[in-house]
Structure 1
Amino acid sequence: MTTMIEASDLGIAFSGTQVVKGVSFDVEPGESFGIVGESGSGKSTVLRALAGLNRDWSGQICFDGNKVGLRRDRTFYTKVQMVFQDPFGSLHPAQTIDRILSEFLLVNGIGDIDGRVNRALAEVALPSSVRFRFPHQLSGGQRQRVAIARALIAEPEVLLLDEPTSALDVSVQAEVLNLLADLRQRLGLTYVMVSHNLAVIAHLCARMGAMQHGIMVEQLTTEALRNDKAVHAHTRELVDLSLSLETVEAAAL
């Protein structure tokens, strides 16, 4: 089976300062891989390079066995979509949900717009009544569901998730995380998710990498994390900052 995502010796610099340093990892089809780290660790910068939003990278990135360059074509974005941290900021405030969801289809000349929009809303458990509302008329959790529906409308194989629940209330976080887990299982999606919250990563991902100062210092399974088998001092520090992983996860979810 071909590895779905492979990043090899990924390096990223801004204004001459190296912010991601030789990061390598791979993700199998249907797997959910988490990247955890504090603010400034480089985790979101890695995700943006994978998504084609950051073109100042070196190394190698492959999707489904195919190398990708600094620029991506339309075919790439039918296979790989990203869900951003702030659902309000990522949705155009002057567009209806219908227009937001239809835009990708219109730009790419994809038909059955009405059917696809209705299916996308159903996939994220939103009623058809939200279709002609504006983002400000929805709750934060509903807006993030719209953002997920917008990603799904392309029928991708990969979702890149940039702190998708951090802007939401704790109770709503659980709903969105459970939705993402269900979608991955039902649709056979592959995820890469970044978060500063170790409990969130542990809830959704079976395997994770911990980042510090632009370096992925350790990769391990969530099971190993729960069994106190983290080796690197920074990973152990992240666990300690979470107090008890089980306690924090129970509180958050």
Structure 2
Amino acid sequence: MIKVEQLRVRFGDNEVVKGVSIHVPAGGSFGIVGESGSGKSTVLRALSGLNDAWTGNITIDGQSVGPRRNRAFFQKVQMVFQDPYGSLHPRQTIDRILSEPLLVHGIGDIERRIETALAEVALPSAARFRYPHQLSGGQRQRVAIARALIAEPEILLLDEPTSALDVSVQAEILNLLADLRERRQLTYILVSHNLAVVSHLCPTVGVMLGGQMVEVISAEDLRAGKTQHPHTSELRALSVGLEEPA
């Protein structure tokens, strides 16, 4: 479903992504982990069409895509951002936020789709006419996920989707994302600095350092400590634990 070959991203004289390649099968989930500044979010922004200053090859569902994307691409590929408050318009109701993607893509049956979207992310129907500031952080991220899914994409790009949330809420959102992927047969790429988060949601993990993907490892081998690159071992040692979130 996603094939990235030799992706390079440069900001001025600084090359921040250096020849990264990723393959994700349809319905699969691939995690990218690394410290701040490693280039992991920059990879996601190039994939999503938010950054057009890249070279290499990106293929989505068998179709090669360039720096500029058409409307069909944005219906197929959606992104969930790190900060659910920053990514939701503060002066729009949840109803308006969820209606907008449907209007943009010319998708009808708006009433039913909004009701279904809220139910799918376990939000009460009363949330529909509230504003983002009237919801908790976890509820706002559920709205962001509902917005990403309402136009029925096939791919979700997840940029640190739980890092702005309380620890008690993180597991709820991760379990929701896992359930949605299985139910809808979605394809995920998840970016995080947290190995436990990535290993919970993704069977395969790419480790980035200085703009390069220095190791691709299974979550099973990561938990067992069967790492190859020293940086992967360092990240694992710094992790609180790779046990599954509750």
- The TM-score, its normalising length taken from structure 1, stands at 0.95
Structure 1: gaps spanning 5 or more residues? none
Q: 1:214 aligns with which of 211, 214, 226?
A: 211
Distance 2:191 2:233 in 1: 18
Give the drift of 1:73.
0.3
Matches within 5 A, 1:99-110: 99-110=96-107
Q: Secondary structure at the match of 1:142?
A: helix
Give the drift of 1:65.
1.0
The 8 Å contact of residues 107 and 151 in structure 2, kept in 1 or not, is answered as no
Of the structure 1 ranges 18-27 and 110-119, higher mean CA displacement relative to structure 2 is found in: 110-119
Give the drift of 1:115.
0.9
Q: 1:123 aligns with which of 120, 123, 127?
A: 120
Q: 2:228 aligns with which of 228, 231, 249?
A: 231
Distance 1:245 1:204 in 2: 12
Give the drift of 1:108.
2.2
Whichever residue aligns with residue 171 of structure 1, its letter is S
Give the drift of 1:244.
3.9
The 8 Å contact of residues 196 and 241 in structure 2, kept in 1 or not, is answered as no
Q: 1:91 aligns with which of 88, 91, 94?
A: 88
- The TM-score, its normalising length taken from structure 2, stands at 0.98
Q: Secondary structure at the match of 1:131?
A: helix
Matches within 5 A, 1:4-43: 4-43=1-40
Does residue 45 (structure 1) correspond to residue 42 (structure 2)? The answer is yes
Whichever residue aligns with residue 64 of structure 1, its letter is D
The 8 Å contact of residues 105 and 151 in structure 2, kept in 1 or not, is answered as no
Whichever residue aligns with residue 96 of structure 1, its letter is T
Relative to structure 1, the CA distance from residue 29 to residue 15 in structure 2 (aligned partners, 3 Å threshold; closer, same or farther) is same
The 8 Å contact of residues 28 and 186 in structure 2, kept in 1 or not, is answered as yes
The total of aligned residue pairs comes to 246
Q: 2:153 aligns with which of 140, 151, 156?
A: 156
Does residue 111 (structure 1) correspond to residue 108 (structure 2)? The answer is yes
Whichever residue aligns with residue 152 of structure 1, its letter is L
Give the drift of 1:243.
4.6
Aligned-CA RMSD value: 0.9
Q: Secondary structure at the match of 2:228?
A: coil
| Deviation sequence 1:48-71 (CA, Å, 0-9, x none) | 000000000000000011100100
Whichever residue aligns with residue 141 of structure 2, its letter is Q
Distance 2:235 2:145 in 1: 28
| Deviation sequence 1:198-241 (CA, Å, 0-9, x none) | 01001111001000000000001101111221100100110011
Q: Secondary structure at the match of 1:211?
A: strand
Distance 1:77 1:109 in 2: 13
Distance 2:177 2:171 in 1: 10
- The residue number in structure 2 matching 1:245 is 242
The 8 Å contact of residues 180 and 186 in structure 2, kept in 1 or not, is answered as yes
Give the drift of 1:106.
1.2
Relative to structure 1, the CA distance from residue 103 to residue 10 in structure 2 (aligned partners, 3 Å threshold; closer, same or farther) is same
The share of aligned pairs that are identical, in percent, is 70
Relative to structure 1, the CA distance from residue 130 to residue 244 in structure 2 (aligned partners, 3 Å threshold; closer, same or farther) is closer
| Deviation sequence 1:38-96 (CA, Å, 0-9, x none) | 00000000000000000000000000111001000000011100000000000000000
Q: 1:72 aligns with which of 52, 55, 69?
A: 69
